[in-house]
Every structure is written in structure tokens, then in C-alpha cells.
Amino acid sequence: MTRIKRGVITKKRHKRLLKRTKGFWGQRKNVFKRAKETLLRAMAFATKGRKLKKRDMRSLFITRIGAAARTEGMSYNELINGLKKAHVELNRKMLSQIAIHEPAVFSKIASLAKAA
């Protein structure tokens, strides 16, 4: 039976991981075991960061919509409640964009919410 040497595959796997840890500090970039631990941790933080970013952006949209609603003489929750009753299905991101870039259109949307 012939002998199988596995060094090539292992080296390829190690190099692939070490390439992703480029720029890390100390042994975290060039010692495989340390790099693997650090990369797993970094990936966990990246996932968490994406979730936090969504949360932060939604908060920003709500703040913008609330400010625009106050210029129309109503509160944020009155606006959202009115839109739901009027069956206007615009998400907060779009409402925020309209409030910033198209104030006249936002006024019409707010009047729909007031009427409902």
C-alpha cells in the first residue's frame, strides 16, 4: 500500500485561514492555533455587529420620521397609527427617505394619516 502525505492539504487550509487574519496583532496573524481562535471570535463579533447596525439604522429612521411628523403637527406614534389605519404600507426606511428628500410628498402622507 502506498503512503499518503497530507501536508499539501493542511498547508492550503492553514494558508487560507492565515490570509483572513492578515493585519491582526502579534501571534494572532501568523500562528495557526491563535489565528483560528481569533478569527472565530472576529466572525462572532462581525455577526453581532451586523445585527446592531440594523438596530441602529431603524432607530435613526424613527428619529427622522418623528422630527418630520412634528413639523406636520403630529407625533411619531400618531403618524404610524394613522398610516396603519389608512392601509399605507411604507416601511420606516422609505418614510425616512421621503421625509428628507421629498417634504411635499411627506406632507401628503401625513395628511392621509391625519384623516384616518
Domains of the chain (ranges plus CATH)? 9-115 (1.10.1900.20)
Q: Please report, in tens digits, the pLDDT of each residue of the chain (116 residues total).
A: 788 888 888 899 999 999 999 999 999 999 899 999 999 999 999 999 999 999 999 999 999 999 999 999 999 999 999 999 999 898 999 999 999 999 999 999 999 998 88
Q: How far apart are CA 51 and CA 13, in angstroms?
A: 29
At 83 the pLDDT is 92
At 76 the pLDDT is 94
At 2 the pLDDT is 82
CA angle 57, 68, 78 (to 5 degrees): 90
Q: How far apart are CA 35 and CA 32, in angstroms?
A: 5
pTM of this prediction? 0.72
At 3 the pLDDT is 84
Contact 77, 91 (CB under 8 A): no
Any alpha helices (H) in the chain, and if so which ranges? 7-20, 32-71, 76-85, 92-101, 103-115
At 17 the pLDDT is 94
Q: At what angle do helices 76-85 and 103-115 cross, to 10 degrees?
A: 70
Nearest to 82 by CA among 93, 71, 69, 94: 69
Nearest to 109 by CA among 82, 76, 91: 82
Q: How far apart are CA 90 and CA 95, in angstroms?
A: 6
